[in-house]
Amino acid sequence: MDHRLLEIIACPVCNGKLNYIQDKQELICKIDNLAFPVRDGIPVLLENEARVLAAEESRP
Ligand SMILES: [Zn+2]
């Protein structure tokens, strides 16, 4: 995914910064404990498409 894109996108729930997890192709919001999928390089920033992170996943 384009890193310039990563700089301009924000969590749709809290407007916070998202962390891109390349291995999982997910964008993570640590505030909301949500992981948004990245499909074919396109971030799907929809709350109803996100999955809730398990407690151990939200640790740094
Ligand atoms: Zn958020």
Q: Map out the domains of the chain as residue ranges.
A: 3-52
pTM of the model as a whole: 0.85
Nearest C-alpha neighbor of 29 from the set 45, 42, 41: 45
Residue 36 has phi, psi (to 5 degrees) of -95, 135
pLDDT tens-digit series, residues 5-25 = 878 899 999 999 999 999 999
Q: Compute the distance from residue 21 Cα to the ligand 1 centre, in Å.
A: 15
Q: Compute the distance from residue 33 Cα to the ligand 1 centre, in Å.
A: 7
Q: Compute the distance from residue 10 Cα to the ligand 1 centre, in Å.
A: 8
What is residue 59's predicted lDDT score, i.e. its pLDDT? 63
DSSP symbol at 53? P
What is residue 60's predicted lDDT score, i.e. its pLDDT? 62
Q: What is the CATH number of domain 3-52?
A: 2.20.25.10
| DSSP output for 3-58 | HHHHHH---TTT----EEETTTTEEEETTTTEEEEEETTEE---GGG-EEPPGGGS
